[in-house]
Amino acid sequence: MILGAVLLGLAGAGLYLPIAVSGIRTQLEESIRPTKPKEFQPKDLKNQLGLIKRSSTPPKVRLAGPGHNTFNPVGWFDNNGTLIKDRFYGRKGPNAIQIVTTSPLYLKIAFNTKKEVDPGNPRYSFSVTREAAEKRSERRKMTRIARARGKNDIFILKEVKGDPLRPTEFLLELLASNKTITVSALEEYTEVAGYSATLDYAAGKRKFSSQMKGDKISVEKRNYEIVFVSESEVVLADEKTSKHTTITK
């Protein structure tokens, strides 16, 4: 009886195993069935990238300049009991003068062809303009007459070329520079003899136009003489201390 019961149990187990195996196989097939993967979503790194960019171009430390007074102190002045910020603090005096423009000044000499030459006493007439002369009265156009190998207050007439009554050229020696020049009888001679400058002084709201060597200007209640003017520079001399200040264009 016991053996029969055992055999019946084994027979039932033999019948159950194929059914169980089939069920497990179905479960395994369903569990490993391929599914469509989810689309990749990258992580938002906007803030991190912004920090990296800021670190690559750090802000510069500004220690001076407008609006920063730690190393750039601001001056104030009293205006009827009210303190007013001085916009030109530290930018006053001759060093604060600026060159607006410079203009050349010419020496012009022309033979006066309209005036006839006297055969008995040949003298030659010239019109002379010295725009760079120190005295204003000497800057206007004037007439100078000279004989061959004679002189006046401006030049020496060293040689007359061509017919003495109808000359073609003149050889002149300028007394101011000892320079020898050739003046055509039919064409005006010109050369740059100096420069004038227009200056601007923003702190005093003043402009000095057409200033030349020898002219004087007043800045912050001090007088300065212009001792040199070129195409790119102006030199001022303090009348009291003789200290020179060079202004560059």
Please state, in angstroms and as integers, the Cα–Cα distance from residue 222 to each residue in 48, 126, 247, following that order. Answer: 62, 43, 17
* Torsion, Cα of 18, 22, 25, 27 (10° steps): -130
User: Residue 239 has what pLDDT?
Assistant: 93
Render pLDDT for 201-232 as a digit per residue (tens, 0 to 9): 988 889 999 999 999 999 988 999 999 999 99
- Of residues 146, 139, 121, 112, the one with CA closest to residue 196: 139
Render pLDDT for 160-212 as a digit per residue (tens, 0 to 9): 999 999 999 999 999 999 999 999 999 999 999 999 999 999 888 899 999 99
User: Residue 147 has what pLDDT?
Assistant: 94
Beta strand residue intervals within the chain, DSSP E? 75-79, 82-86, 98-111, 124-130, 142-146, 155-163, 166-174, 179-184, 189-201, 206-211, 216-219, 222-229, 233-238, 244-248
Rounded Cα distance between 43 and 45, Å, is 6
Q: pTM score, two decimals?
A: 0.63
Rounded Cα distance between 215 and 142, Å, is 22
154, 143 contact by CB (below 8 A): no
Q: What is the DSSP string of 48-108?
A: HHHHHHHHHSPPPP--SBTTB-SSS--EEEEETTEEEEETTTT--SGGG-EEEEEEEEEEE
Sign of the dihedral through C-alpha 164, 166, 171, 173: positive
Report residue 171 as tokens. Answer: 């050889």
Render pLDDT for 40-79 as a digit per residue (tens, 0 to 9): 788 888 888 888 888 888 777 776 666 666 666 777 778 8
DSSP annotation of 7: H
